[in-house]
């Protein structure tokens, strides 16, 4: 790989690369190591404009967000949501948005920055160097879209950045303070999953709710994670508010659990759809919805998914026939030695065959649905197309 020479406005100071205009800063915080792709420093740290996770300023930001979130979920009527949507950051209206979605931006450089980011995976060495230099420059100017990208690069160790989750969170916090929705989402994930900071579900949900109140983004990451975390926290009203209108299989779990507008069979389908997101909570919901009518249900939904659950992570189907026979007898109230009719035997045979068909399909769906909800993202919407573009680079840098 070609060794890139730093552009003339970068100079070496205290063994790190810094922007010439920023080298007068009292403290130079080395965020990035030398790289043959690019070298770029931490403008937020150098200028003092970033927000550290352990400063009074950041704790004030936390308090403000917690206060805003305290009554937000309860106040969000349909009318309020419409008003919030009218205040959304501007979206990309270019035809190329059809491929990657309409990007959420808040600055007049937003779209340029996002397309610089999108160009990086396929750029030549020189093009990549020039794009990174531009992105670093925008970050030095505290442009939120660029600050968020710097956080993304630091989180995943990309494009010459050293993997540093604490640094990533400082970038995310700086961009979130400028009301940039993707940075709010990324910072929320850090709290929810304990990435570079102690796990704090309450603070994570507060930040996530603030991001969600701005409006839907077309990859539905915010509403998906929000509904899922609220589901796990057993907060039905909030889980449903996040999930309602959220076109995501993960959000289907909360719809299955808490919707009063859909039939039981529709809710079972939603619970089954949620399984494709890679979480198994849908099995519990299918059982809860189907067990009360299991004795009279001719489709045998309860037993079918009990068997799928039992064999999903096994390497073979040994004992499947016996397991199907046991579940069928149990729901029908037949003893283990009671004689079975021809119809009973056919039903058990059908049960035995269902996991053999359904399990490969679920595995295929999960493989194609690599959303990676725990990832910090460089922008929103961050679609499956974008995941496919960046995944090879991120997995290559993952320890």
Boundaries of every domain in the chain: 51-245+384-397, 264-368
Share of the chain above pLDDT 70, in %: 74
Residue 20 has a pLDDT of 23
Residue pLDDT, tens place only, 267-279: 999 999 999 999 9
Closest CA to 193 of 175, 177, 217, 169: 169
Mean per-residue pLDDT, 325-345: 93
Query: Scanning the structure block, which residue is given the tokens 């700086």?
Result: 174
Instruction: Assess contact for 222 and 244: CB atoms under 8 A.
Output: no
C-alpha of 250 from chain center: 10
Residue pLDDT, tens place only, 86-123: 444 333 333 333 334 479 999 999 999 999 999 999 99
Confidence band, pLDDT 50/70/90 cuts, at residue 85: very low
Q: Angle at Cα 386 formed by Cα 91 and Cα 398, nearest 5°?
A: 130
Residue pLDDT, tens place only, 169-208: 999 999 999 999 999 999 999 999 999 999 999 999 999 9
Alpha-carbon distance of 118 to 398, in angstroms, equals: 20
Q: Which residue has the higher pLDDT, 234 or 216?
A: 234
Q: What DSSP string describes 248-283?
A: -TTTHHHHHHH-SSS-HHHHHHHHHHHHTTT-SHHH
Closest CA to 254 of 219, 279, 227, 277: 227
Closest CA to 22 of 137, 166, 160, 107: 137
Q: Residue 12's beta-bridge partner residues?
A: 17
Alpha-carbon distance of 149 to 24, in angstroms, equals: 24
Alpha-carbon distance of 69 to 65, in angstroms, equals: 6
Mean per-residue pLDDT, 130-155: 97
Confidence band, pLDDT 50/70/90 cuts, at residue 4: very low
Mean per-residue pLDDT, 61-76: 52
Residue 189 has a pLDDT of 97
Residue 395 has a pLDDT of 79
Q: Which residue has the higher pLDDT, 349 or 75?
A: 349
What's the CATH number of domain 51-245+384-397, 2.30.30.110, 1.25.40.10, 3.20.20.70, 3.40.50.920?
1.25.40.10
Task: Note the helical H segments in the chain.
Answer: 43-47, 56-70, 72-75, 78-86, 97-100, 110-119, 125-140, 144-156, 165-177, 181-193, 201-214, 221-232, 236-243, 252-258, 264-275, 281-290, 301-311, 320-332, 342-368, 384-397
Packed helices 144-156 and 384-397: angle between N→C axes, nearest 10 degrees: 50
Burial of 252 (0-12, 13-18, 19+ CB in 10 A): buried
Residue 88 has a pLDDT of 41
Residue 67 has a pLDDT of 57
Residue pLDDT, tens place only, 18-33: 222 222 222 223 333 3
Residue 216 has a pLDDT of 84
Query: Scanning the structure block, which residue is given the tokens 């009279």?
Result: 296
Given a cut of 80, is residue 328 above it in pLDDT?
yes
Q: At a CB cut-off of 8 Å and minimum separation 6, what does 373 contact?
A: 221, 224, 225, 228, 250, 277
Mean per-residue pLDDT, 314-339: 94
Question: How far is the CA of 347 from the CAs of 219, 304, 354, in angstroms?
Answer: 41, 11, 11
Confidence band, pLDDT 50/70/90 cuts, at residue 337: confident
Confidence band, pLDDT 50/70/90 cuts, at residue 61: low
């Amino acid at each position: 790989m070609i060794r890139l020479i730093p552009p003339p406005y970068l100079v070496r100071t205290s063994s790190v690369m810094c922007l010439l205009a920023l080298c007068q800063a009292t403290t130079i915080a080395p965020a990035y190591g030398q790289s043959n792709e690019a070298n770029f420093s931490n403008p937020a740290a150098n200028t003092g404009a970033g927000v550290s996770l352990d400063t009074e300023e950041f704790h004030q930001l936390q308090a403000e967000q917690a206060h805003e979130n305290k009554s937000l979920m309860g106040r969000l009527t349909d009318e309020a949501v419409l008003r919030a949507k009218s205040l959304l950051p501007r979206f990309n209206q270019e035809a190329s948005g059809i491929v990657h979605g309409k990007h959420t931006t808040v600055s007049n450089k937003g779209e340029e920055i996002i397309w610089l980011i999108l160009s990086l995976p396929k750029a030549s060495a020189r093009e990549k160097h020039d794009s990174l230099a531009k992105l670093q420059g925008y970050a030095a100017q505290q442009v939120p879209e660029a600050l968020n990208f710097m956080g993304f690069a630091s989180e995943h160790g990309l494009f010459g950045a050293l993997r540093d989750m604490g640094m990533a969170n400082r970038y995310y916090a700086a961009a979130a303070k400028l009301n940039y929705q993707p940075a709010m989402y990324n910072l929320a994930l850090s709290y929810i999953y304990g990435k570079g900071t102690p796990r704090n579900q309450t603070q994570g949900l507060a930040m996530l709710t603030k991001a969600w109140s701005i409006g839907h983004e077309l990859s539905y990451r915010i509403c998906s994670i929000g509904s899922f975390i609220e589901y796990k926290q057993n907060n039905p009203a909030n889980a449903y508010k996040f999930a309602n209108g959220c076109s995501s299989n993960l959000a289907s779990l909360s719809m299955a659990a808490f919707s009063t507008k859909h039939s039981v069979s529709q809710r079972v389908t939603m619970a089954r759809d949620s399984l494709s997101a890679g979480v198994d909570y849908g099995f519990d919901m299918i059982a809860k919805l189907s067990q009360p009518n299991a004795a009279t249900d001719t489709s045998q939904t309860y037993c079918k998914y009990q068997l799928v659950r039992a064999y999903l992570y096994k390497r073979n189907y040994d004992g499947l026939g016996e397991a199907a026979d046991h579940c069928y007898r149990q729901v029908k109230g037949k003893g283990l030695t009671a004689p079975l009719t021809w119809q009973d035997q056919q039903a058990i045979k059908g049960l035995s065959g269902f996991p053999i068909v359904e399990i490969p399909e679920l595995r295929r769906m999960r493989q194609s649905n690599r959303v990676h909800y725990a990832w910090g993202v460089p922008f929103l919407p961050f679609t499956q197309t974008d995941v496919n573009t960046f995944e090879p680079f991120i997995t290559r840098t993952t320890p």
